[in-house]
Structure formats: structure tokens, C-alpha cells
């Protein structure tokens, strides 16, 4: 019996898409539990999981017990990485 590789590729793509959607749902839920944003707002603002991860890294700095100057230095050190996240947040809430 011949293997239908096109069908297998299609099935794998569907499985991957479903897994990504479930992961996105979990990620949005976790972020919304830490913020005043809803799951839907998180998914709308940060549809890319990599950006959502950057948001979490930024939140970690902001909520750390370090003093204000240290927090600012950490944010400045990572400004290029956080710039997109900051623009998104400011665009939404300003």
C-alpha cells in the first residue's frame, strides 16, 4: 500500500496548527492572570508568542524587588528587545 504523503503533510499541518492554537490560549490565559488585560486583549495585542514572551520578561523586570534605577537600567539594556512590546502597550493604553 502506497503512502499518501500529501495527506500526511496535511494532517501534520493541522495537528501543528491545533497545538499552536492551544499553546496560544494557555499563554494568553497566563498573561491575563498577571495583568488587567483579558485573554482576548492579550491575543489581539500579542498574536506572536515570541512577543508575549518578551512582555512577560518586561513584566518580570517591572515587578521585581529591585530599586527603580536598577529596573530602568535593565529595561534600557534590553530596549531593543522590548521596544515592540512597549509600543504595543502604549498604543493600547495611551
Q: Structural domain boundaries of the chain? A: 5-93
Joined grid coordinates for residue 8? 500526511
CB 34 within 8 A of CB 44: no
Q: What is the pTM of this model?
A: 0.73
Question: 92 Cβ partners below 8 Å, 6+ apart?
Answer: 41, 45
Q: For residue 47, give the 3-state DSSP assignment.
A: coil
Nearest to 44 by CA among 14, 18, 24, 71: 24
- Tens digit of pLDDT for each residue in 32-79? 888 899 999 988 998 888 888 889 889 889 988 899 999 999 999 999
Amino acid at each position: 500500500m502506497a503512502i499518501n504523503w500529501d495527506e500526511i503533510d496535511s494532517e501534520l499541518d493541522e495537528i501543528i496548527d491545533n497545538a499552536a492554537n492551544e499553546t496560544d490560549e494557555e499563554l494568553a490565559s497566563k498573561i491575563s492572570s498577571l495583568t488587567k488585560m483579558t485573554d482576548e486583549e492579550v491575543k489581539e495585542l500579542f498574536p506572536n508568542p515570541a512577543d508575549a514572551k518578551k512582555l512577560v520578561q518586561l513584566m518580570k523586570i517591572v515587578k521585581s524587588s529591585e530599586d527603580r534605577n536598577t529596573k530602568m537600567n535593565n529595561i534600557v539594556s534590553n530596549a531593543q528587545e522590548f521596544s515592540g512590546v512597549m509600543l504595543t502597550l502604549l498604543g493600547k493604553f495611551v
